[in-house]
Each structure stands twice: as C-alpha cells, then as structure tokens.
Amino acid sequence: MEDLVALCKRRGFIFQSSEIYGGIQGLYDYGPLGVELKNNLKKSWWSSMVYERDDVEGLDASILTHSDVLKYSGHEDTFTDPLVDCKSCGLRFRQDQIPDYCKDEDLTEPRDFNLMFKTNVGPIDDGSNYAYLRPETAQQIFINFKNITDSTSQTLPFGIAQIGKAFRNEITPRNFIFRVREFEQMELEFFVQPGTDEDWHKTWVKERTQWWIDQGIPENKLKIINIDGDDLSHYSKATVDIMYMFPHGIEELEGIANRTDFDLGSHTKNQGDLDITADIIKNDSSTAKLAIQDLDTKKWIVPYVIEPSAGVDRGVLAILNEAYSEETLSDGKKRIVLSFKPHLAPIKAAVIPLKKNNTELVSMAKNIKNNLQTLGVGRVVVENTGNIGKSYRKHDEIGTPICITVDFDSLEKNIVTIRNRDTMEQTKMNIDMIEDFFVDYYK
C-alpha cells in the first residue's frame, strides 16, 4: 500500500485533499492521471451497463436530497454505525474496527451514529430547511422511477444506471481511498417482476464478477460471499458481496443486493390498491405511485429491484494494486510498471521526439499526437524531455501502453519506433500505419 500511495502522489494520480492546510481525513483529490484512470473506469462501466444493452437507461440526479426521501428510505433511522469511545485515549471507533492498542482499554457501550451529512438549504438557518448529501446514489433513481417510465418505453425487466458522488461520515476512514467520506458509486437499479428476482440476482452476480475480471482483476483475487442475518441492510432480502484482496486485506469491492419492493414501496403514496410485500413505512408525504402497469392484465405492480452497487474509488485502488509491479531487468536495473488493461490506461500513447526542442522532430511529434488525439481513444501526449530512457521509465510507471519515438529516420524515411510497455519490444513502423495500429490496439 505504501508503494502505491507514494507512486500515486509522485506521478499525479491521487493527493490528500486540502494537503497544504494539513489535509482532511477521508478525503482525496484525483490528479492529472487519476482523473483519466477514474474516467476510463466509469466509461467502461457505463458502456457495459447502458450502451451495450437496450434495457437500461441512464440518470444523473442531484446530490442534495430532500430529507423526506431519506426519511422514507429508512436512512434517517437506520443508516448508522455503532460508535464506541476509548475512555483511556479519548478516540472514537466503529465497534468492529477498534485498533489493537485500544481493545483491552475501558470502552463505552456502543451507540448509534448516523453516517449522513446534513446541510442547510437557502438563506434561513433555523434548522428546518435541511437536506442531506446523498449517502448512496440509489434513492435518486427510485424517486425518478415514474419520470423515467413515463419518458421512455421501458417495460419490465429494465434498469436505471447512475454514476455519482455519495457521502458518508465514516467514523474511521482509512486505508487510502478504500474507506473515505466522499466517494463515487456506480449503481444500477434493475427492476424485475416479483418472483423472478432471485434468478436475476444470480445473473447480476455473474455479470458483475466477469466485468471486474475484464478490468484486469484476476478471478483468484475475488471472493463471492453471501451476507446474512444481522449484517443485511434494512432494505435487503439477500446481498452478495464481491470481495477483493486489497493490500490491507480482503474487503468489499461491490455489493449486489435484492432490495425487493422496499424502496419503490416506501416512496409511493399509500393508495391502497398496490400489493407491496415489503414491510414499509406508511407514506403520506409522497405524491407519486412508483409502480408500472402490466400491459396485459392492466394491473399495477411495484417491481422488485436488484442492485449491483460498486465503488469507483475502491475499483481504482484494486486496479492500481493489480497493475503495479516491480521488475528487475537483465542489466540489474529495476523497473516499476503499471500494467493497466489498455482501455483503462490514463495516457494512451506518448510521442517522444529524440532531441528536445529540435523544431522538426517536435513538430512531427505534435502532428502525430494531434492526429491520434482526434480518434477519440483517449489522451495522447508529446513527451519533450530529450531523454528517451527516462521517458520510457516514466511511461512504464504511469502505465502508458505505447510510446512512439520520432528520430531522424522519421524525418528522412517516415519511420517511427513503437515501444511496447509490457514486452519492452521496439518495432519500426511507417508513419502512415500509426493511426490504424493505434485504433486496432484499443479496439
């Protein structure tokens, strides 16, 4: 973990937030390479969840959430962690995360601590106009259910996907970006006919596990576990967690829950004509019936929902951890390499003029960059340092799959050198072939 944290700072992936003022615990900023990696991961999720299917629609809803939404969702009452104080050192911990040095000390009885951030909305601060920073993106999906069914032609089964920030006032944020107070989630709410939910749950566990493997996480580093009994969230009938061997231990990367009709039922105005199975709070505040009409029977049903919910930041940490390696080369030198899958690499290609500031070489390198940049694959850079060896080492360390070197042969014969990050092999290529090669590589 220390090596990863150091590399992330050195190369501009991830920084402690508000660092120059001493930092705030549990908050991180993504730098020039981190933002690319994170965007690529989100793009890959969006592509597999929305673009490659016809039964999922996207959404980007507000972060500030009406307090009633989180009242009826059950979060005001139950979104808590058990908090204990160590009477000896005065520190506070989540009951299941007490560090060894306090375990034998005098601890207070656990009490519920609500993890939601509350904030005032509008200019009058008398405590009555508050909203929450959403603790999960899911609730906004549920409350937009009617808007989406009314404005699209989706029928069951279908899903709504959203990527966005979520906030939890974690008692003990820790392990770098694993447990933070502001993070991003990639959530799908997949609505199904009650009765078909258990099969769909199994299908989504399989789909999501395969997706993580496709992002470069080996299957043997993943573990699928069933959450049961007291560990289930208040809305869940069954939850399966995809666990990953993080540098600090095996922990949750994604949770896939069967939320039944709990949420749609809870947000629906109680109208008496709906058969809701979940044990929900009777709702008088809502104005909506979050149900869908069966076109054959004309009956209104409140669908069940399967929710694959993945953390972007935990995904980034897992991917960095898998990609990172230190190799000793045949000449005894050490090389650090991030072997990202090509679609996740922050920089898709670096074009390197052999000599720094040589007008002709630099101009040719810029032309190549500009051409490749227009192809829409991702970021391409010109590396004008004049030190090829150092540039290769840097791009190994930030995971750039391809380096393209422009030398005097390029000016005379139109030939560049392509260097592969993983094999370190160098091959000559005619400049006219680069675009096809590049597009092919990232297909």
Nearest approach, Cβ of residue 224 and ligand ATP (Å): 13
Rounded Cα distance between 322 and 340, Å, is 8
Which of 170, 189, 261, 263 binds ligand ATP (CB under 6 A)? It is 170
* Amino acid present at 318: A
Instruction: Pick between residue 57 and residue 254 the one whose CB is nearest to ligand ATP.
Output: 254
What string marks each residue from 214 to 253 as x (binds ligand ATP by CB under 6 A) or -? --------------------------------------xx
Residue whose token pair is 């911990």: 93
Q: Cα–chain-centroid distance for residue 179?
A: 13
Instruction: Pick between residue 54 and residue 96 the one whose CB is nearest to ligand ATP.
Output: 96
Instruction: Pick between residue 181 and residue 395 the one whose CB is nearest to ligand ATP.
Output: 181
Position closest to ligand ATP via CB: 311
How is residue 174 annotated by DSSP?
A: B
What string marks each residue from 283 to 322 as x (binds ligand ATP by CB under 6 A) or -? --------------------------xxx-xx--------
Rounded Cα distance between 277 and 77, Å, is 21
Nearest approach, Cβ of residue 317 and ligand ATP (Å): 9
Rounded Cα distance between 117 and 169, Å, is 6
Write out the two tokens for 39. Answer: 């965007």
Write out the two tokens for 300. Answer: 């209104």
Closest CA to 394 of 11, 37, 6, 13: 11
What string marks each residue from 325 to 364 as x (binds ligand ATP by CB under 6 A) or -? ----------------------------------------
Query: Residue 180 interacts with ligand ATP (CB under 6 A)?
Result: yes
Q: Please work out the total of residues on this chain that contact ligand ATP, with binding judged by CB under 6 A.
A: 15
Burial of 256 (0-12, 13-18, 19+ CB in 10 A): buried
Nearest approach, Cβ of residue 304 and ligand ATP (Å): 18
Nearest approach, Cβ of residue 168 and ligand ATP (Å): 5
Instruction: Pick between residue 70 and residue 291 the one whose CB is nearest to ligand ATP.
Output: 70
Instruction: Choose the binding region for ligand ATP from 56-64, 175-183, 385-393, 434-442 (rule: CB under 6 A).
Output: 175-183
| Inter-residue contact 169 to 181 (CB < 8 Å) | yes
Instruction: Pick between residue 264 and residue 310 the one whose CB is nearest to ligand ATP.
Output: 310
Nearest approach, Cβ of residue 97 and ligand ATP (Å): 10
Write out the two tokens for 229. Answer: 């009994």
Q: Which residues pair with 354 in a beta bridge?
A: none
Write out the two tokens for 2. Answer: 């220390």
Instruction: Choose the binding region for ligand ATP from 177-185, 266-274, 361-369, 412-420 (rule: CB under 6 A).
Output: 177-185
What string marks each residue from 250 to 279 as x (binds ligand ATP by CB under 6 A) or -? --xxxx------------------------
Closest CA to 159 of 310, 307, 311, 312: 307
Helix or strand or coil: residue 78?
A: helix
* Amino acid present at 62: S
Query: Residue 179 interacts with ligand ATP (CB under 6 A)?
Result: yes
What string marks each residue from 121 to 160 as x (binds ligand ATP by CB under 6 A) or -? ----------------------------------------
How is residue 50 annotated by DSSP?
A: I
| Inter-residue contact 267 to 281 (CB < 8 Å) | no
- Which residues, numbered 6-35, are part of the site for ligand ATP (CB under 6 A)? none
User: How does DSSP assign 14-32, residue by residue?
Assistant: EEETTGGGT--TT-EEE-H
Instruction: Pick between residue 217 and residue 362 the one whose CB is nearest to ligand ATP.
Output: 217
Rounded Cα distance between 231 and 441, Å, is 45
Binding site for ligand ATP (CB under 6 A): 168, 170, 179-180, 183, 185, 252-255, 309-311, 313-314
